[in-house]
Amino acid sequence: MTPEPTGTATATRTRPPAGLSVWPASARVTAHGDVAVAGVSLARTAERFGTPLYLLDEDEVRRRCRAYREAFPGAEVAYAAKAFLCRALVHWIRDEGLGLDVCSAGELELAVTAGFPPDRVLLHGNAKTPEDLATALRLRVGRIVIDSAGEIARLAALVPHGDRQKVLLRVVPGVEAGGHAAVRTGTDGQKFGLSLTDGSALHAVSRVLGQTRLHLTGLHCHIGSQIPGTAPYLTALRRAVGALALIRDRHGIVLTELDMGGGHAVAHRPGEPAQDIRDLGALMRAALSEECAAAGLPVPRLTVEPGRALVGPAGVAVYRVLAVKRSGPRVFVAVDGGMSDNPRPALYGVRYAPRLIGRRSTAGPCAVTVVGRHCEAGDVLAADAELPADVRPGDLIAVPVAGAYQLSMASTYNAVGRPPVVAVRDGRARLLVRRESLADLTSRDIGL
């Protein structure tokens, strides 16, 4: 359909204040206290599409894709689809020359039916279902990442006679990194991968090499999420190269791929640390060359898998205030969304920087807790946030860095439908994913 103008492309704008540092680069404050992203008024978009609402800045996503390709020249950049996936995003990722990392038959089917080349897809998962594996083989994905010893024979038995499926083996390097215990995956004692420390990874290599229908091309190593520094990646890389050297010495084969995963931190609030992608790319490529030279190995093709770092800062969530309540010393600002569209504060303690939009306030700042509409005390979207002291029902609040792990983890708790997704570009807005209605929810309930 033809997008309708929704924006303020010609509106008077001021320079973005420091408070917009974690917003899309196109974000501007308008003369009336609104914020425009890609020339599109958030307040007018909320009136058109309703709230809660998610906006995604297409050019911001594309710009970040290109920044990764520039930071990792010659490497494969594969978007981690679990961060957020829809058909339009599949096209943007494909157009920018990236690969795709999926974790289920559902993500895979969505991507391929939207036109993504299956040979540029990797399938992950610590517990892949028979459907996941069968779909990957049917659609001929580029590589499947083996996560456990038991998966080796299971996968090999499904590969058609005469075919060979390319696989990577996920290894655990013994590196602790990540912004929360629930997203640290580089150490033993968690559910992902095979340990380099106890020998289980190298034992699995022998088993994969014994399967004639599997072609082991490399190792995979993902150490966690929301990692702002480079040191953990370099340590993991050195240990992975050491494993490549051991595999060559024991089996006489040289693996040609090394996938170092993603987990690159983004800032959710001004002043928080974020990963410097150019610095990380330069250091990882230099370390890979040096370590391989020292081990007498050819340099394998490097793969990185950013997810949040590509789409997180490109997204903005917009809510409408339903109630303002003072309870003792605390002020609660309740909005029309909550943990059903963003469970991350409840799961990981993530903190955001919400902003009043749609009107200019002269009131001073007030410390508030932005809460959702759901029947859970833990339904908190932003603790210890600052909003104008005159915030009131009917106001609009925008939350930046909303593009990743919000709608992809959303639920229909309290029978509340999931919000729509709207793409913004060049002063225009277009609907990508419609709002989930009560009819959508009740159509699945057939048990009378």
How is 172-215 classified by DSSP, letter by letter?
Answer: E------SSGGGB-SSSSSSSSEESSSSHHHHHHHHHHT-TTEE
The vertex-193 CA angle with 191 and 197, nearest 5°, equals 105
Q: Is the pLDDT of residue 102 over 70?
A: yes
Strand, helix or coil for residue 263: coil
CB contact at 8 A, 373 and 320: no
pLDDT digits (tens, 9 = 90+) for 170-195: 999 878 666 566 555 556 677 788 98
From the list 65, 103, 221, 375, the catalytic residue is 375
What's the pLDDT at 447?
A: 84
Which phi-psi region, left, alpha or beta, contains residue 144 (left: φ > 0; alpha: ψ -120 to 50)?
beta
pLDDT digits (tens, 9 = 90+) for 202-218: 999 999 999 999 999 99
Domain span(s) for CATH 3.20.20.10 in the chain: 59-310
CA dist 370 to 271, 387, 394, 416, Å? 20, 9, 14, 18
User: Which range is least confidently modeled, 5-19, 112-126, 154-168, 430-444?
Assistant: 5-19
Confidence of residue 371 (pLDDT cuts 50, 70, 90): very high
**How many other C-beta atoms are found inside a 10 Å radius of the C-beta of residue 189?**
7
What is this structure's pTM?
A: 0.93
**DSSP labels for 123-161?**
E--SS--HHHHHHHHHHT-SEEEE-STHHHHHHHHHSPT
Confidence of residue 6 (pLDDT cuts 50, 70, 90): very low
| Residue with token string 């998966």 | 151
What's the pLDDT at 10?
A: 32
What is the mean pLDDT of the segment spanning 150-161? 96
What is the mean pLDDT of the segment spanning 360-380? 95
Residue 375 appears among annotated catalytic residues: yes
On average, the pLDDT of the chain sits at 92
Q: What is the DSSP letter of 20?
A: G
Longest dimension (CA), the chain: 72
Fold of 4-57+313-442: Lyase, Ornithine Decarboxylase; Chain A, domain 1 (2.40.37)
Q: Is the pLDDT of residue 141 over 60?
A: yes
Output the six-digit token pair for 224.
């966690």
What is the mean pLDDT of the segment spanning 18-43? 92
Percentage, residues of the chain above pLDDT 90: 86
CB contact at 8 A, 159 and 207: no
Output the six-digit token pair for 270.
């001004």
The CA distance from 285 to 433, in Å, is 38
The CA distance from 185 to 182, in Å, is 8
Domain span(s) for CATH 2.40.37.10 in the chain: 4-57+313-442
What's the pLDDT at 183?
A: 56
Select the more confidently predicted residue: 232 or 6. Answer: 232
User: Which range is least confidently modeled, 144-153, 182-191, 274-283?
Assistant: 182-191
Q: Is the pLDDT of residue 8 over 50?
A: no
Confidence of residue 329 (pLDDT cuts 50, 70, 90): confident
What is the mean pLDDT of the segment spanning 71-80? 98
What is the mean pLDDT of the segment spanning 3-7? 42
251's enclosing H/E stretch is helix 231-251
Fold of 59-310: TIM Barrel (3.20.20)
325's enclosing H/E stretch is strand 315-327
Helix ranges (DSSP H) in 23-165: 42-49, 58-71, 87-95, 105-113, 130-139, 150-158
Select the more confidently predicted residue: 1 or 400. Answer: 400
CB contact at 8 A, 400 and 429: no
